[in-house]
C-alpha cells in the first residue's frame, strides 16, 4: 500500500462517530441520495485499508449532515433510508470501536461492594 496511510484508531473513531450521527439525521430524500454514495465510498475505503480515503470520505460525510436552519416551505425531511441505515450499522460494527467510555464505565469492570475500588470519600466495607 505505497502512498496510502493505514487506518489508525483516531480515523476509525471519527468514522464511527459520523456514522452514528448519520443514523440520527433527518434529511430530504434528495440529500439522502447524495449521502448514500459517500457511505458506499467509505465502505470501499475501509475494505481497501485506505486510511487517507477513509479520512476524506468521513470529512465529506460530516459536511453532508443536516443544516441547523430550515427554510420555511423547505422539502420535508426523513430519517436514513433502510439501505443507508443498514450499511451504516454494518460499518460501525465492522470498525469494532467500543461505545463511548462513560457507556461502559471506561472499560473498568464494576463489581458491587468491591473493597479495592473505593474512591475518594468512599469507605471500604
Q: What are the structural domain ranges in the chain? A: 9-67+75-96
Q: What is the pLDDT of residue 5?
A: 81
User: Cell triple for residue 11?
Assistant: 480515523
Query: How far separated are the first and last CA of the chain, in Å rounded?
Result: 56
Confidence of residue 69 (pLDDT cuts 50, 70, 90): low
Average pLDDT estimate for 32-48: 97
pLDDT at residue 3 tops 70: no
- CB-based contacts of 70, cutoff 8 Å, min separation 6: 77
Q: What is the pTM of this model?
A: 0.70
Instruction: Determine the Cα–Cα distance for residues 47 and 54; give it in Å rounded to an integer.
Output: 10
In this predicted model, what pLDDT tens digit does every residue of 93-102 receive, in sequence order? 999 866 555 4
Helix (H/G/I), strand (E/B), else coil: 97: coil
Amino acid at each position: 500500500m505505497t502512498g496510502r496511510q493505514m487506518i489508525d484508531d483516531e480515523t476509525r473513531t471519527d468514522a464511527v462517530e459520523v456514522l452514528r450521527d448519520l443514523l440520527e439525521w433527518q434529511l430530504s430524500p434528495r440529500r439522502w441520495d447524495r449521502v448514500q454514495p459517500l457511505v458506499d465510498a467509505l465502505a470501499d475505503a475501509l475494505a481497501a485499508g485506505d486510511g487517507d480515503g477513509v479520512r476524506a470520505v468521513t470529512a465529506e460525510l460530516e459536511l453532508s449532515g443536516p443544516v441547523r436552519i430550515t427554510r420555511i416551505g423547505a422539502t420535508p425531511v426523513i430519517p436514513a433510508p433502510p439501505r443507508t441505515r443498514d450499511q451504516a450499522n454494518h460499518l460501525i460494527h465492522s470498525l469494532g470501536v467500543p461505545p463511548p467510555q462513560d457507556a461502559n464505565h471506561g472499560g473498568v469492570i464494576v463489581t458491587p461492594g468491591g473493597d479495592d475500588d473505593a474512591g475518594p470519600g468512599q469507605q471500604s466495607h
